[in-house]
Amino acid sequence: MVKELDRRSFLVVAGLLGLAACGSDTGRGGSAKGTLSHWYHAYGEDGVQEAVRRYAAAYPNAEVEVQWNPGDYDSKVLTALQNSAVPDVFEAQVKVDWVRQKQVVPLDDVLGDTRDDFVRTLLDAQTVDGRLYGVPQAIDTQVLFYRPSLLAKAGVTPPKSVDELVDAAKRLTSGGVRGLFAGNDGGVAVLTGPLLWAAGLDFLSQDGKAPGFDDPRAATVFGRLRDLHQGGGLLLGAPTDWADPGAFVDGLVAMQWTGLWNLPKITAAHGADVGVLAFPRLDANGADSVPVGAFSAMVNARSADVEAAKAYVKWLWVEKTDYQTEFATAFGSHLPARESLAAKAEPLRSGPGKEIVGFVTAGGRIASPARWSARANTALSDAVSRIAREGAQPAGELRAALDVARDEIARLDR
């Protein structure tokens, strides 16, 4: 990935593992009386750390200590929730295991009458058993960027189906330019969800009680990823991974699957020669789609003062709309988590930014549902990897992943 973990990692990594002490905080004794500890992962964009420290310093009702966490943030959060009163407040995505183990507290009362202003799909993604456990901070999404001039030169139209995408990647490969970059694993990590949605499927059934990919169409669509790998049009082994726009900016590829956050760098490099697409559908029974997700502010149930922590979350992520707008739009390009703020976001009111907002509105899909466990995610990802990279037969690989997913769903329902 990029030089440090950033807000995009939630679209890819579902596992959460162990803790290494950071800074001067051992994470054992809890915050001092009248002090709150707020953890962030290390954002890759310049200016974010300074901004969140400024927000914390402005809070009038307590001293807030911001801890910036380079490295394996997910591991630190998991172990902290198991063993510590610190942090009081942290950013992550809600996991059903945290709720079952009573490691996080409900935040329904924090939103008050602003609930309808938050993007509904984001709230749904932070909800378990009808209770809200995270307040979304900003929306991230991924799209297919392409160079219209290179497509025109090759006689390729922007792909409207998965088959057209596979064909375009092959035809756009010429000389030192490859057709498509979707990560150094060939898209296994970031395209699994979009491929499922392209086929009209999902990770889970609508009620969350069964896997959503127990269907022959899953084998069909993942077989197309294998075709993409075998077609010779994928860039593999790039200097940076999919979350960084380097391959596209440096002219190594005609198309790249990456995030909205890279739009300023991409347009700075290529000007008007930039097009954007949602991930295309498999066929008429599928759907165009883009993954959406958000880190959310959550409160540690072990906090020495849960109510004070909730009051701080309400102040920062509900009341302080100026901070929320700045956080979403001033550092890279992101969507505010609230509809009223998104409507005013200047970078998203024209050009590719406006198109991407339309993709999110029409086909935004939750990248990591709260009830989709890390173990189930690993099983499916491993199966897709073997299909795409080793040429394994899709149906057999998916049967094993389905068995793991069913076991995990049953475990979470116990």
- Asked if residue 33 has pLDDT above 70, the reply is no
Summarised one tens digit per residue, pLDDT across range 213-248 is 999 999 999 999 999 999 999 999 999 999 999 999
pLDDT of residue 338: 92
Looking at per-residue pLDDT, the higher value among 1 and 184 belongs to 184
Closest of 186, 293, 292 to residue 229, by C-alpha:
186
Confidence of residue 8 (pLDDT cuts 50, 70, 90): very low
On average, the pLDDT of the chain sits at 90
Q: Work out the angle between the directed axes of helices 48-58 and 321-329 (0-180°, nearest 10).
A: 170
Summarised one tens digit per residue, pLDDT across range 92-130 is 999 888 999 999 999 999 999 999 999 888 898 899 989
User: Alpha-carbon torsion 378, 382, 384, 389, what sign?
Assistant: positive
DSSP labels for 31-45? PPTTEEEEEEE--SS
13: how many CB neighbours lie within 10 A of its CB?
18
- Asked if residue 78 has pLDDT above 70, the reply is yes
Phi-psi group of 172: left, alpha or beta (phi > 0 → left; psi -120 to 50 → alpha; rest → beta): alpha
Q: Is the separation of the CB atoms in 395 and 232 below 8 Å?
A: no
- Asked if residue 339 has pLDDT above 80, the reply is yes
With a pLDDT cut of 90, the percent of the chain lying above it is 76
Confidence of residue 370 (pLDDT cuts 50, 70, 90): confident
- Please name every residue paired with 257 in a beta bridge, in sequence order, or none if there are none: 144
State mean pLDDT over 66-89: 95
Angle at 181 between CA 159 and CA 290, to 5 degrees: 55
Q: Is the separation of the CB atoms in 40 and 96 below 8 Å?
A: no
With a pLDDT cut of 70, the percent of the chain lying above it is 92
Confidence of residue 22 (pLDDT cuts 50, 70, 90): very low
Query: What gap in Å lies between CA 43 and CA 61, rounded to an integer?
Result: 26
Q: Which amino acid is at 412?
A: L
pLDDT of residue 288: 97
Closest of 268, 236, 229, 267 to residue 253, by C-alpha:
236
Domains of the chain: residue spans and CATH: 7-137+294-337 (3.40.190.10), 142-291+370-413 (3.40.190.10)
Q: Is the separation of the CB atoms in 181 and 242 below 8 Å?
A: yes
Query: What gap in Å lies between CA 335 and CA 338, rounded to an integer?
Result: 8
| Inter-CA distances, 227 with 230, 287, 315, 392, 393, Å | 5, 20, 50, 12, 12
- Asked if residue 193 has pLDDT above 90, the reply is yes
